[in-house]
Amino acid sequence: MHSRLENKINYRFSDKKLLEEALTHKSYSVENNLAFYNERFEFLGDSVLGLAVCDYLFREHPRKDEGYLSKLKSYIVSKSNLSLWAQKIGLEQHIKLASGEKSSGGALKPSILSNAFEALIGAVYLDGGYEKAQKTLFSFLESQEELFTDIDFKSKFQEYSQKKHRQLPAYEVISTQGPEHDKTFVVTLRVGGKTLSTGKGKSKKEAEQNAAENAIKYLEAHQHKKS
């Protein structure tokens, strides 16, 4: 039934019930009076994903510091990125949703897609162990490696702002903290006069990057609440 999906992730489930549960949204379970849905798998998959991503970044970027690796991990495991991975394998075609959720386009909501992707990784882990789950994830990571060489959150947010609001984001230093020789800059990010986030850094550039990253996280969380 889901052989195309298994082909896409290059993994065959021994226990098909695990895959079935990973693809079952809570709304479908309630509507059909089922005793299972994928939230527990999502919980497990989130941790497996986090470990595998840290493992990959640690090995593939030996000269990068902890701050860079943390930012990179944050981007990789974000709802927006995981939903793109989910669409890459056509996961939306396999998620079981309640009729109302399905008719309203729920299968393409970033929150539902990213959660289902995490649940899928959790199912692979339960069925085949960590190494199989890691191998599945590494194929996604390797295909995106070029994008990870220099994540620029300012450019990413500017692209979003121009597309969504037709305006450029504005950055402003609102304060500095610490002694003259070891300043920390505090920057706000505004779009259309509305403050979306703040960021801190040892330089204005770093503070602006952190403000942009925080704005992206805020928007993803806000989008998740709406869905």
Beta bridge partners of 190: 170, 195
Determine which one of 118, 208, 213, 220 is catalytic: 118
Q: Is 42 a catalytic residue?
A: no
Contacts of 39 (CB under 8 A, 6+ apart): 26, 115, 119
- Cα–Cα distance measured from residue 2 to residue 5, given in angstroms and rounded to the nearest whole number: 5
Determine which one of 46, 101, 127, 220 is catalytic: 46
> Helix, strand, coil % (nearest 5) of the chain?
65, 10, 20
- Cα–Cα distance measured from residue 114 to residue 91, given in angstroms and rounded to the nearest whole number: 10
Q: Is 46 a catalytic residue?
A: yes
What are the distances in angstroms from CA 63 to CA 54, 58, 67, 156?
A: 14, 9, 12, 24
- Cα–Cα distance measured from residue 52 to residue 114, given in angstroms and rounded to the nearest whole number: 16
Q: At what angle do helices 204-226 and 79-88 cross, to 10 degrees?
A: 60
Tell me which residues are annotated as active site. Answer: 46, 118
